[in-house]
C-alpha cells in the first residue's frame, strides 16, 4: 500500500495513481493513534466510559435552569405543554426531552410605531418600515404622520406561545389597523390638536377587544400618541398655520385677561357708587325726618308758651351765629355818647 508520501508530485492524495481506500485507511490509522495517545491502554472500554461521562455531563448541564423573578417558564415534554414554573432554580428532564421557554409575564413590554428608542424595543418585535407605519389618511381626506406607543403585558404565557403563531407581530398588525381606523374617523385638526385623548382611549378599547378575541394572551395597558405631523411637503405651511392659530389664541387670552381686569373693577366702582348713593339717600331722609320731628316738637312748645319759645329760639340762633362773626359792635339804645371803637380782634400790623 503506498503511503501519503508516495503521492507527492501527483496532485495530492486523490491524484493520478492513488487509491482512495489507502487514504481512508491512513485517516483511520491516524485517528486510532490519537485515541491511543489519549488512552494509552488502548482498551475500547475506555472509549465507552469516556462517551458515557460526556453524555452524563451533557445531561447534568441541560437538566437545570433558572427562571428570573419577573418571568415564568413554560415547560414542554417532547413538544407538548406540561406545566408553568414559577421563578427560581428548577430541574427538568435533560437531553431535549423537556424544553423550558422563559416568558416575562411581569415586565411591561412596549411596541413603538414610527420611531425606535435605543434599548427600549420589544424583544419579540421584528424590524418594520417606520415610515410606512406613520402614513395615515384622516376622515377629511388629509394626510398625517402619526407616531404612537403601545404598552402591554403577557397575561397568559400559554396562549401567548401556542394559540397564535406570532403574537407580538399580530399585536403590531392589530395596533396599526385599529389606529388607522380611529384616525380615519376624525379630521386632521382633531388628530393633531383636540382629539388626542379620545383617540388614545378608543384605540386602547378596540385593541384590547381584538387581543381577547384572538386569544393572544396579551393585556394592553396604554396607548399613547407621540408626534403627529403633516407630510413633509406641507410641513412648513402647516407650521405657519399653527403659529397663526397660536398667535390668535394668545391675543384672545390677552383680551380676556384685560376684560377680566377692567370689568370687575368697573363693577366694583358701580357697586360703590350705588352704596354711596343709598347712604346719602338714607342720610338725607333721616335728617329730614329729624328736622321734621324737631319742628313738630318746637311747634308743640310754641303753642304752649309762644313768648318763651320765641325767645329761646332767638337765643339759640345767636349762639350758632355769633361765634362766626369776627367784628362785633353792641350798642345800647339808651346810650347817648359812643366811645371810639377798640378792635381787639385785629392782629398787630393789620388795618381795622
DSSP assigned state of 163: T
The pLDDT of residue 184 is above 70: yes
The Cα–Cα gap between 137 and 145 comes to 9
Q: Helix, strand or coil for residue 149? A: strand
pLDDT tens per residue, range 330-342: 666 666 666 555 5
Mutual orientation of helices 235-304 and 306-321 as an angle, nearest 10°?
Answer: 140
pLDDT tens per residue, range 59-96: 666 778 889 999 999 999 998 999 999 998 888 888 77
The Cα–Cα gap between 229 and 146 comes to 7
In this predicted structure, what is the pLDDT of residue 340?
53
Strand partners for 111: 150
The Cα–Cα gap between 280 and 290 comes to 15
Is residue 316 packed enough to be buried (19+ CB in 10 Å), middle (13-18) or exposed (0-12)? exposed
Distance, CA of 343 to chain centre: 93
Nearest residue to 149 via CA among 171, 181, 126: 171
Q: Would you state the cell numbers that stand for residue 101, as one nine-digit string?
A: 421557554
Q: Helix, strand or coil for residue 103? A: strand
* Number of C-beta neighbours around residue 349 at 10 A: 5
Q: Helix, strand or coil for residue 148? A: strand
Whether 139 contacts 187, CB under 8 Å: yes
The model's pTM:
0.55
In this predicted structure, what is the pLDDT of residue 28?
64
pLDDT tens per residue, range 284-310: 999 999 989 988 888 888 888 888 888
The Cα–Cα gap between 7 and 136 comes to 72
Q: Would you state the cell numbers that stand for residue 242, as one nine-digit string?
A: 399653527
Amino acid at each position: 500500500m503506498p503511503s501519503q508520501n508516495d503521492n507527492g508530485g501527483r496532485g495530492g492524495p486523490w491524484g493520478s495513481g492513488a487509491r482512495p481506500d489507502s487514504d481512508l485507511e491512513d485517516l483511520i490509522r491516524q485517528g486510532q493513534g490519537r485515541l491511543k495517545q489519549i488512552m494509552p491502554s488502548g482498551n475500547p472500554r475506555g472509549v465507552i466510559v469516556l462517551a458515557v461521562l460526556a453524555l452524563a455531563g451533557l445531561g447534568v448541564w441541560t437538566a437545570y435552569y433558572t427562571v428570573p423573578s419577573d418571568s415564568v417558564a413554560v415547560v414542554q415534554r417532547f413538544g407538548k405543554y406540561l406545566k408553568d414554573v414559577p421563578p427560581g432554580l428548577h430541574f427538568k428532564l435533560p437531553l431535549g426531552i423537556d424544553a423550558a421557554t422563559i416568558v416575562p409575564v411581569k415586565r411591561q413590554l412596549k411596541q413603538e410605531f414610527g420611531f425606535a428608542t435605543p434599548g427600549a424595543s420589544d424583544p419579540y418585535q421584528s424590524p418594520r418600515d417606520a415610515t410606512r407605519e406613520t402614513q395615515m389618511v384622516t376622515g377629511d381626506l388629509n394626510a398625517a404622520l402619526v407616531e404612537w406607543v403601545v404598552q402591554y403585558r403577557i397575561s397568559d404565557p400559554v396562549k401567548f406561545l401556542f394559540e397564535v403563531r406570532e403574537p407580538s407581530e399580530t399585536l403590531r398588525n392589530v395596533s396599526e389597523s385599529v389606529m388607522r381606523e380611529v384616525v380615519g374617523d376624525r379630521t386632521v385638526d382633531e388628530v393633531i390638536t383636540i382629539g388626542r385623548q379620545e383617540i388614545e382611549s378608543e384605540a386602547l378599547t378596540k385593541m384590547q377587544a381584538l387581543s381577547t378575541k384572538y386569544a393572544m394572551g396579551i393585556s394592553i395597558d396604554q396607548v399613547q400618541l407621540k408626534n403627529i405631523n403633516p407630510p413633509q411637503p406641507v410641513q412648513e405651511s402647516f407650521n405657519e398655520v399653527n403659529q397663526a392659530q397660536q398667535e390668535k389664541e394668545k391675543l384672545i387670552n390677552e383680551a380676556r385677561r384685560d376684560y377680566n381686569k377692567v370689568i370687575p373693577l368697573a363693577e366694583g366702582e358701580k357697586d360703590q357708587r350705588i352704596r354711596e348713593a343709598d347712604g346719602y339717600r338714607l342720610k338725607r331722609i333721616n335728617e329730614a325726618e329729624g328736622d321734621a320731628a324737631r319742628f313738630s316738637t318746637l311747634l308743640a312748645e310754641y303753642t304752649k308758651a309762644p313768648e318763651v319759645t320765641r325767645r329761646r329760639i332767638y337765643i339759640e340762633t345767636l349762639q350758632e351765629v355769633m361765634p362766626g362773626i369776627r367784628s362785633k359792635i353792641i350798642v345800647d339804645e339808651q346810650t347817648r355818647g359812643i366811645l371810639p371803637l377798640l378792635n381787639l380782634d385785629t392782629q398787630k400790623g393789620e388795618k381795622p
